[in-house]
Amino acid sequence: MSKSKFKPFTSKIPTLAEWSKNFRHRQASAPRATLASPSIAGLGTWTMTLKDNGFKRVIALEPVPAYNHWITGLSEQSKGIVEVLKKDGYDWETYIGLKEPQYLGELENKDWTHVHPGIFFTGTLPKGSRGEQLLAQFMTCITNKMALFTMGRIQMALWIPDSLFYKITAAPGTNARCKMSVIAEACADVMPICSTGPKDVYPHGEYHLVHIIPFAESQIKSQWDVFEYVLKHLFVMQKKPLSHMVRTLGPGADIILGRLSFDPQILIGTMTAMQLDEVATKFDEWPLRPRVLFEDASVFT
């Protein structure tokens, strides 16, 4: 699509009518959420705020033509600090490409005793399963030092929708507790920074900015495939006690209950990440455990 088909760039935040016209959503899924209030941020303002607050280089990933055009306009005003790539943050090939020397490759830092001093990752996640799956994959990548986290202990600031915020921050025993909140608890500090008001996001909806700092060491000490297997099977019924659900791990798996350091009558939904990791460790040590754990590849499918 040529640039001539777009409205000329202006740094002014679009009105609601302009937004609906120039950034209208043509897909059947929910419209893309974008920060829309100057008091919080606006289209491209989040990117420019990074530039204006000391970041020497900002790499913006934007595959959608209309948004790419807008961010490119901001890039041209940034005197080379903002660089726009027509790449999708949902494509794992993007993160492989970012490891090239011309982007982030020369900043690789394998030392996880300190937060990476030179790379900061930020973005906005959509509502629905797509945003949830990406956030879950980020948590998994932190734990296993995969994708972007092969570059080091990289902190993130993510705008996430209301429902997803309560899932990732859910403590043991709360209604929103899920597999993702267990893994988040095990691998990172997740701290809320601010929340939007009713008209701060277009289309309207509440979003929360969270600061995610990976731990130097994950609390998951068991083999990852074993932990995934245990988590997936036990969390089918969170209101059941471990003594009941442990049988779903394999015939005779209740033998590991007497080897645990905590009461096996604990309800699944009230278990901490460390307790679940202990179950995974004892299960892995059991000589008769199933050897083939997954027909599919992920706990989140």
Give residue-wise pLDDT tens across range 273-292.
Answer: 999 999 999 999 999 888 78
Residue 113 in this model has a pLDDT that exceeds 80: yes
| Predicted confidence band of residue 203 (pLDDT cuts 50, 70, 90) | low
Return the CATH number of 31-214, one of 3.40.50.150, 3.40.309.10, 3.40.1030.10, 3.20.20.70.
3.40.50.150
Query: Higher-confidence residue: 215 or 3?
Result: 215
Residue 4 in this model has a pLDDT that exceeds 50: no
In this structure, what token pair is assigned to residue 65? 């033509």
In angstroms, the CA 43 to CA 13 distance is 7
Beta-sheet pairing, 188-195 with 58-61: unpaired
Mean pLDDT score of the chain: 86
| Predicted confidence band of residue 55 (pLDDT cuts 50, 70, 90) | confident
pTM comes to: 0.84
In this structure, what token pair is assigned to residue 235? 């969390």
Task: Tell me the helices (H) and strands (E) count for the chain, helix number first.
Answer: 10, 8
* Angle of helix 224-234 versus helix 273-285 axis, rounded to 10: 110
Q: Tell me which amino acid residue 155 is.
A: Q
Lowest mean pLDDT among 28-32, 35-39, 261-265: 28-32
Residue 15 in this model has a pLDDT that exceeds 90: no
| Predicted confidence band of residue 22 (pLDDT cuts 50, 70, 90) | low
Burial status of residue 123 (CB atoms within 10 A of its CB: 0-12, 13-18, 19 or more): middle
Residue 230 in this model has a pLDDT that exceeds 70: yes
Residue whose token pair is 């890039």:
75
Residue 251: which of 277, 279, 288 has the closest Cα? 288
User: In the 8-state DSSP scheme, what is residue 52?
Assistant: H
Mean pLDDT of all residues in 114-124: 94
Beta strands in the chain (DSSP E): 34-35, 58-61, 82-85, 120-124, 155-161, 188-195, 201-202, 207-214
C-beta of residue 24 within 8 angstroms of C-beta of residue 66: no
Residue 297: which of 237, 245, 229 has the closest Cα? 229
Cis check: omega of the bond before 203, within 30 degrees of 0: yes
Return the pLDDT at 215: 98
Residue 221 in this model has a pLDDT that exceeds 90: yes
* Angle of helix 224-234 versus helix 179-187 axis, rounded to 10: 140
In this structure, what token pair is assigned to residue 292? 């083939």
In angstroms, the CA 177 to CA 238 distance is 9
Residue 176 in this model has a pLDDT that exceeds 60: yes
What is the second-level CATH architecture of the domain 224-285? Orthogonal Bundle (1.10)
Residue 199: phi and psi, rounded to 5, are: -115, 15
Lowest mean pLDDT among 49-63, 237-251, 258-272, 275-289: 49-63
